[in-house]
A and B are shown apart, each in its own frame.
Chain A
Amino acid sequence: MNLPKIPLADWIDWLETWLKAHFDPFFQIIRLVVGETVNGLDVFLNWFPPLILVLLFTAIAWFIGKWKMALFTFVGLLIIENLGLWSQTMQTLALVLTAAFISVLIGVPVGILCARSSGVQKIVTPVLDFMQTMPAFVYLLPAVTFFSLGVVPGVISSIIFAIPPTIRLTNLGIRQVPAELVEAADAFGSTPTQKLFKLQLPIAMPTIMAGINQTIMLSLSMVVIASMIGAQGVGAYVYRAVTQGNTGVGFEAGLAIVILAIILDRLTQQVIRNNKAA
């Protein structure tokens, strides 16, 4: 085989440069909006005295779930505070919530489009496969080119990595609405929009929520990677501990992420259960 190598790397680099040259104002707007959102949330969460916030989260957990969940939230957050990782954990939470929020904002409508048109689904599905299997580190480089260092490229690469479950499960949830119910809605003269909001979305809601839960978990798993390009927070502690070979510090920071993950997971799962029961 003497065929010349396909210059794929050159093409991608060229594309990156071209996008940067022609769409820079657009990237700057995204940078500004996303950056301010994360910062605003960060400042807001850190404005409360930690103990007040611990109680607030515990109250939410109590309200949504049972006493076990409230107890875990209370103890878990106190441990984080005790380890001196409170402010960093809140920074991480701000990043994760922003990434999840934007993922839902984009993912649910895309999922709806997929459910409505098999053509769209055929195009979107392989793109989602690609997004989920391409090693997340690869997103970091163009993200930095477009959005420079800091939290914004971290959020963007988290979204790319975490958005597929929301799209997939929104699509699935709507497609799983029993055909006879869709037929009944048609038989009574519903417009497509009425059908969507009065029938399909309400019935698909538990499935969509399961997708959102997955999206939150995946963006949480991105925080360490995001810290490699300058995102602050508890992920940065883990990253630093790894580079310095500091097992103890790494474990502490890792534990904070685990606690945050369990709280977010159980809360959203409980919301799904409440939704199903209603």
Chain B
Amino acid sequence: MAIIEAKRLTKIFGSDPKKAIPLLDKGWSKEKIFADTKLTVGVNQADFAIEEGQIFVIMGLSGSGKSTLVRLLNRLIEPTLGQVLFNGTDVLRMSPEQLRKFRRKNVGMVFQKFALFPHRTVLQNIEYGLEVQGIDKKKRREMAMSSLELVGLTGWENSYPDQLSGGMQQRVGLARGLANDPDVLLMDEAFSALDPLIRKDMQDELLELQSKMKKTIVFITHDLNEALRIGDQIALMKDGAIVQIGTPEEILMQPANKYVERFVEDVDLSKVLTAAHVMVKAETITMEKGPRVALQFMRDRGISSLYVVDKGMRLIGIVTAEDASNAIKNGVRLDEAIIKDAPSVQPDTLLHELFELMSNSRLPISVIDPNGRLKGVVIKGAVLAALAGSTGIGTGEQHESA
């Protein structure tokens, strides 16, 4: 079951916001509604479901309503219409007391500008959420210290936020958000204010934390590369409405409309697509067959090399047409003609890591899963086609053994 579900979630800013709802139903645009009523559509009927343990990225340009949307989830901004269900309970129907309990126990939040309390030490900042719950001093110190350790800042507990670098400050923000062990962590452009290198470190750390703690994370960003890097699901927003929800691959490969297409056209695909996306079916042959069969096979298909595998599809090596005909001349078995040190990569290797390998090798690169089974082969043409944005890739055709 989804841990968070939003149904027709809508926020309209201005006086008498309900006035705009029938206009939204009629499909009026944000500009038209503003021109007519002076009301600003913040979030327009967002529908989505977030599964437990997922990193759900909400992405859009500034002004697209993404920061408003995340604040509707814990009611820092009061929605105009719709529902937010947390494990089936409607957050919008909660009394102030219930809402406080929900914020204290179930959702943590990390902010773009860190929002650390300048008059409190690092430890006191992390303790804040526990303190307002009334957890006793000894217990909350313990919990805060373990949260501090999680983000690798042990030893800094008595410093003040302004003594820390930006990256460290946001680690404190993250530790504060995690201190009460919430079910859901809301991260509002949490890494946007950081330097690119530190940002990448933080993304890596977040992914590592996520793999350990299995938190559900709602991550807001305007950076598509960041979204593609960390998101399990991405919701792309424009003018307050969600225009597409899907996995990173789906967003890239099957853009729902022109807007998404334009949004993703500048993506450095080599840092997003993996070997699995561009690999093609590998022509294989098993060990038992002789060099003659291999050569015949290559002639039939018009190819110059062949992958030799065992019965379990585990890769043994490559045989080229030249080596096969030499083997026939010299009367040796196929396994003596095999090149065993041919380049190979894992399916999740990013394309930009393949470039060097490809330029140094005249042979295609084989893609092997962690069990040693051959999944496919990367050829230069397919890589170039993928980087040029041509469709029809990403399916990683299945191969049959010969």
Contacts and interface: CB of A to CB of B under 8 A. Distances in A.
A51 interface: no
Nearest to B99: A189
A191 B115 contact: no
Given A188-B104, A203-B118, A203-B119, A194 B76 contact: no
A13 interface: no
Nearest to A194: B132
B132 A184 contact: no
B67 to A, nearest CB: 11
A184 B109 contact: yes
B133 interface: yes
Interface residues of A, number: 18
A202 interface: yes
Contact of A198 (B99, B103, B128): B128
A180 B128 contact: no
Given A180-B111, A181-B115, A203-B118, A187 B76 contact: yes
Interface of B: 74, 76, 99-104, 107-109, 111, 113, 115, 117-119, 128-129, 131-133, 176, 180, 186
A274 interface: no
A181 B101 CA distance: 19
B119 A191 contact: no
A184 B131 contact: no
Interface in A163-182: 178, 180-181
A184 B104 contact: no
Given A183-B76, A184-B109, A190 B115 contact: no
Interface of A: 178, 180-181, 183-191, 194, 198-199, 202-203, 278
Contact of B117 (A189, A194, A199, A278): A199
A189 B119 contact: no
Chain A to chain B: the 3 pairs with minimum beta-carbon distance, closest first: A189-B104, A189-B103, A188-B129
Nearest to A278: B119
A184 B129 CA distance: 10
Nearest to B109: A187
B109 A188 contact: yes
30 contacts: A180-B115, A183-B76, A183-B115, A184-B111, A185-B117, A185-B128, A186-B76, A186-B103, A187-B74, A187-B103, A187-B107, A188-B103, A188-B104, A188-B108, A188-B109, A188-B129, A188-B132, A188-B180, A189-B99, A189-B100, A189-B102, A189-B132, A190-B100, A191-B132, A198-B128, A198-B132, A199-B117, A202-B119, A203-B117, A203-B118
